[in-house]
Chains A and B, each alone.
Chain A
Amino acid sequence: MDWSLVIGNAAAELISPTTAAYALAAVGLAVHFGYTGLLNFGQAAFMAIGAYGFAVSVLYFGLPFWGAVLVSLLASVAFALILGIPTLRLRSDYLAIVTIASAEILRYIVSTTSLASVTGGAGGLSAFAGEFYAMNPFPEGNYLFWPFDVTAKDLWVRVVGWSIVALATLLVFALMRSPWGRVVKGIREDEDAVRSLGKNVYSYKMQSLVFGGALGTLAGIIFILPRSVQPGNYGTGLTFFIWTVMLLGGAATILGPVVGSMVFWVLLSLTDGLLQGLVNQGVITFLTTDQIGPVRFILIGLGLMALVVFRPQGIFGNKKELQFNV
């Protein structure tokens, strides 16, 4: 088994744009669930809005890069309002039901054949990031060092992705230390108490839903910049991976979702590499290489169960502040 390859591949995940996208989506979810107590099970939908909002704007409407980003964000705000207006007056369980359902509705809409000329149908969309890569200030060549060595193109998308993650993290940090953060944390604890103190709870929940959703949308754009848009990516599985990432790091923490995403992807890559190696060398005989993919997720599931049992507050969480008390 080539250890340097296995470890190198795993370590490269630390800075990959996918890790950045998951981290950003999880930061958004932490705003929803960790700080405001909103049970959003549709973060995949916000990511899909980022992906399709951007790609369709560029390919179908011919908008420039910034126009496409703006359209995605506006669509994300509209989606949050549509979800929030009927459900945020109700108990949080209803938001969970509505978000998971609307995420699926959205996925079915973008993959319908009749919309194939716009959304690409089941085949998805590709070749929309030309303008983004044309903005790359790094000259051709190889950058960084093993195991992070990348091309100029790879470096550009990583720099942009992680800069957005850093900005979003700072923004959430500032917000949660402010009186605004105090109100949403109060709402997480007891809505009626906050209402009795003269705060418009409905409006705060809406602001939180819109803000966290917008972070999810930006994450959706980062996610597709190095790849194509595939409708199959935006199923409930994606939402649950984002939840895993958030809970792994700690739901009501600033850096938790970022580190959670790194741990998630490094573990996924590491288990893949190790299992591949062991199967190829004949150490593991009861698995074929085709079965390794699903087995990794079984292991991740077991890991999440262990986390819930032994460290419910996540890696960074304060046990007193937040546990699984849904």
Chain B
Amino acid sequence: MSNDISVGKAAPGCKKVDPILVADNVTRQFGGLTAVNVDHLEIPRGMITALIGPNGAGKTTLFNLLTGFDKPTTGSWNFEGKDLAGVPSYKVARLGMVRTFQLTKALSMLTVMENMRLGAQNQPGESFFAALIRPLWSSFEAKITARAEDLLKRFKLDAKQEDFAAALSGGQRKLLEMARALMSEPKLVMLDEPMAGVNPALTQSLLEHIKDLKKNGTTVLFVEHDMHMVRHISDWVVVMAEGKIVAEGPPAIVMKDQAVIDAYLGAHADTDLGTVAIKVVKEKK
């Protein structure tokens, strides 16, 4: 089946018309266990791509490898044509590929506003000697503060900006982490389970934020177990199971793919079930 994202038919490891991130032969072994074994993967630019799969499929490990937080056993990958293998994580972030974490990493004893300001790039006052001369960085600080206020308003955290991040609820920390990642104006934002623990009332607005990102030209790659969200906002879905990419394609089609249903239900009947996947199985019966 053809579509306008992949070159030719959608299949695991298929080529994309305009990829932003291309990974080749990326593997990661923990002792005898091969956690990630990806032959070829391309993430389409300007699209929202969902990475799904049962628990233990290697989704987060793949995130860690691609962003330099873990070193692969083998493999190479490039972001906008720049080879990223062996590049430290902070440089990956500076190139415009920013991630969030599954276990939220809000900086608890910093205020919400300080968390946000920390997300901005190229603040001259972050160098030791320039930090001592306020005029060198105060105007930049005002600029990023304004941007932070705007983002916090969109994420409905503006009333909390002077509170310590420790005082936020789990869902609010998730929002803060995402807003903080956006402070750097990334080209590719990688969200690890952005919906986990977020109040359903907020889910809808969070979905809108992610769609807005796409509108502004940011590429989004996210890991999620909430199949409703995956179907609702993603343009492309990549399915992993046991470290491998088992299926790829537009959401409506991938959700009906036998390999996906097998991955979620067959080999791992005891693991996390997406609601849609269940529905698909029922419909088949």
**B65 smallest CB distance to A (angstroms):** 14
Tell me if B151 counts as interface (CB < 8 A to partner A): no
> For the complex, what is the distance from the CA of A63 to the CA of B13, rounded to whole Å?
69
- In contact, B128 and A211 (Cβ under 8 angstroms): yes
**B94 smallest CB distance to A (angstroms):** 4
- In contact, B125 and A198 (Cβ under 8 angstroms): no
> For the complex, what is the distance from the CA of A183 to the CA of B121, rounded to whole Å?
12
**A196 smallest CB distance to B (angstroms):** 5
Tell me if B169 counts as interface (CB < 8 A to partner A): no
> For the complex, what is the distance from the CA of A182 to the CA of B137, rounded to whole Å?
13
- In contact, B131 and A320 (Cβ under 8 angstroms): no
- In contact, B93 and A197 (Cβ under 8 angstroms): yes
Write the chain A residue with the least CB distance to B109: A321
**B183 smallest CB distance to A (angstroms):** 8
**A84 smallest CB distance to B (angstroms):** 15
- In contact, B101 and A186 (Cβ under 8 angstroms): no
Taking CB atoms and an 8 Å cut-off, the chain A residues in 282-326 that contact chain B are 320-322
Kindly list chain A residues whose C-beta atoms are within 8 Å of the C-beta of B108. 189
With known contacts A185-B110, A188-B109, A190-B105, A179–B123 Cβ distance under 8 A: yes
> For the complex, what is the distance from the CA of A200 to the CA of B69, rounded to whole Å?
13
> For the complex, what is the distance from the CA of A178 to the CA of B117, rounded to whole Å?
11
Kindly list chain B residues whose C-beta atoms are within 8 Å of the C-beta of A186. 107, 110, 114-115, 118
Interface size class of A (residues with CB under 8 A): 20 to 34
Kindly list chain A residues whose C-beta atoms are within 8 Å of the C-beta of B88. 200
> For the complex, what is the distance from the CA of A195 to the CA of B134, rounded to whole Å?
24
Partner of A320, one of B99, B117, B164: B164
- In contact, B131 and A196 (Cβ under 8 angstroms): no
Tell me if A181 counts as interface (CB < 8 A to partner B): yes
With known contacts A178-B125, A183-B126, A201–B90 Cβ distance under 8 A: yes
**B71 smallest CB distance to A (angstroms):** 13
Kindly list chain B residues whose C-beta atoms are within 8 Å of the C-beta of A185. 107, 109-110, 114
Tell me if B6 counts as interface (CB < 8 A to partner A): no
**A137 smallest CB distance to B (angstroms):** 28
Kindly list chain A residues whose C-beta atoms are within 8 Å of the C-beta of B98. 196-198
Tell me if A171 counts as interface (CB < 8 A to partner B): yes
With known contacts A185-B110, A189-B107, A190-B107, A178–B90 Cβ distance under 8 A: no
Partner of A181, one of B106, B131, B180: B131
- In contact, A197 and B184 (Cβ under 8 angstroms): yes
Kindly list chain B residues whose C-beta atoms are within 8 Å of the C-beta of A322. 109
- In contact, A175 and B117 (Cβ under 8 angstroms): no
Write the chain A residue with the least CB distance to B114: A182
Q: C-beta contact mask, B66-94 vs A, less than 8 Å → 1, else 0?
A: 01010000000000000000001111011
Q: Can you spell out 25 A-B residue pairs with CB atoms less than 8 angstroms apart?
A: A174-B132, A179-B123, A179-B141, A180-B127, A181-B131, A185-B107, A185-B109, A189-B107, A189-B109, A192-B105, A193-B105, A193-B107, A194-B118, A195-B69, A195-B93, A197-B90, A197-B93, A197-B180, A198-B90, A198-B91, A198-B121, A199-B118, A207-B128, A321-B109, A322-B109
Query: Chain B residues in contact with chain A, CB under 8 A?
Result: 67, 69, 88-91, 93-94, 98-101, 105-110, 114-115, 117-119, 121, 123, 125-128, 130-132, 134, 137, 141, 164, 166, 177, 180-181, 183-184
Query: Chain A residues in contact with chain B, CB under 8 A?
Result: 171, 174-175, 178-183, 185-186, 188-190, 192-201, 207, 211, 320-322
